[in-house]
Amino acid sequence: MIFRLDKDIWFPDPYNAPKNYPVAIGGDLSPERLLFAYSLGIFPWYSEDEPILWWCPDPRMVLFPEKLRISRSLKKTLKKNIFTVRFDTAFEEVINRCATVERKDQTGTWLVPEMIDAYIRLHSLGYAHSVEVYLGNRLVGGLYGVSLGGVFFGESMFHEVSDASKVAFVHLVQKLKEWDFDMIDCQQSTEHLRRFGAEDISRKQFLDILRLSLKKETKRGNWSEIV
């Protein structure tokens, strides 16, 4: 059963959500609804010709910061220091690049204009954050996501130069480990993230960890001022 949302901010119990179908449909992308959704382990994901769809998949791919794996070749890239990495200095540019960059075997984007606007609002409120990777003065890679308690909910990444998004991801995970974050939510299972040490856990385990992690204080604000 898929629940239809109305103007009130609520969601069905994510513990009892379908495994491979949306938890709910409809509603809006207001900051209040988005933050409430993330606090329940629910996120929006839909295409331009669809209504808003809300998901809480089972299993769930996550990365525990202490389990980060870095390949030999990426370690060599990191040691060269050819990239400059920054946090929260170009959020709008990062999310727009995530929406428009060409991806192998993929046409279109789930980052529709209203979704982009919604995350820009969350960024202005200090909940959504970006990592930017520069080669000289050129932005060549990055990622963004939402931070609540001790969990970072990864949303999307892009690269225009080899390894740029990987460098962004490594710097993010290392900073989150320093800040004692519990996990990074990767949402969907991919071999790319599995190579970094990400793993599939049950939805129940994910939600149990999330519930405890939300007791930590959210590191809200512009991260460029605290990294």
Average pLDDT over residues 213-226: 96
- Identify the CA nearest to 157 among candidates 111, 220, 206: 111
As a whole number, the mean pLDDT across the chain is: 95
Alpha helices (H) along the chain: 31-39, 72-80, 91-100, 113-124, 164-178, 191-194, 203-213
Positive or negative, the Cα torsion across 187, 191, 192, 195? positive
Mean pLDDT calculated for residue range 56-63: 97
Q: What percent of the chain has pLDDT over 70?
A: 96
pLDDT at 107 over 70: no
Nearest-angstrom CA–CA distance, 225 and 14: 35
Which tens digit of pLDDT belongs to each residue from 158-197?
Answer: 999 999 999 999 999 999 999 999 999 999 889 999 999 9
In the prediction, which pLDDT does 20 show?
A: 87
Domain limits, the chain: 3-57, 61-225
CATH topology of domain 61-225: Aminopeptidase (3.40.630)
The CATH classification number of 3-57 equals: 3.30.70.3550
Question: Is residue 105's pLDDT more than 70?
Answer: no
Mind listing the pLDDT tens digit for each residue in 116-153? 999 999 999 999 999 999 999 999 999 999 999 999 99
